[in-house]
Amino acid sequence: AQTVTQSQPEMSVQEAETVTLSCTYDTSESDYYLFWYKQPPSRQMILVIRQEAYKQQNATENRFSVNFQKAAKSFSLKISDSQLGDAAMYFCAYRSALNSNSGYALNFGKGTSLLVTP
């Protein structure tokens, strides 16, 4: 089974600064997807960024970018120019690209709570 590890339960960043959230995973598959989801307090979890394992280029979405190191099985999220609205719980997730009995179920890490200070 694939496992996802987020080693930082909490992180703090000042507005306008940059923060990096860590994620590592364990898998024997060669093709898969990785995601970062964000859940603000009492709100829906939304997709921040997605990375296909077969793509070498790191995904970027505006102020959010990833550092995908396939050999090291590492998938960190960098948030640049942090804003107060970035405060949330961030979950790293893995999904197999194979159509298995579990379909396309996601495997999540425990989450990292990000605090943004003025």
Partner 1 sequence: EAGVTQFPSHSVIEKGQTVTLRCDPISGHDNLYWYRRVMGKEIKFLLHFVKESKQDESGMPNNRFLAERTGGTYSTLKVQPAELEDSGVYFCASSQTGGTEAFFGQGTRLTVV
Interaction site with partner 1 (CB under 8 A) = 4, 33, 37, 42-47, 50, 52, 91, 95, 101-111
- Least CB distance from residue 13 to partner 1, whole Å? 22
3-state helix, strand, coil in the chain (%, to 5): 5, 55, 45
Rounded Cα distance, 75 and 34, in Å: 8
Tokens of 52: 């296909």
Q: Which is nearer to partner 1, 30 or 104 (CB)?
A: 104
Q: Which is nearer to partner 1, 75 or 82 (CB)?
A: 75
Q: Which is nearer to partner 1, 29 or 81 (CB)?
A: 29
- Least CB distance from residue 32 to partner 1, whole Å? 11
Handedness of CA 83, 87, 88, 90 (dihedral sign): positive
Cβ neighbour number for residue 60 with a 10 Å cutoff? 12
- Least CB distance from residue 33 to partner 1, whole Å? 6
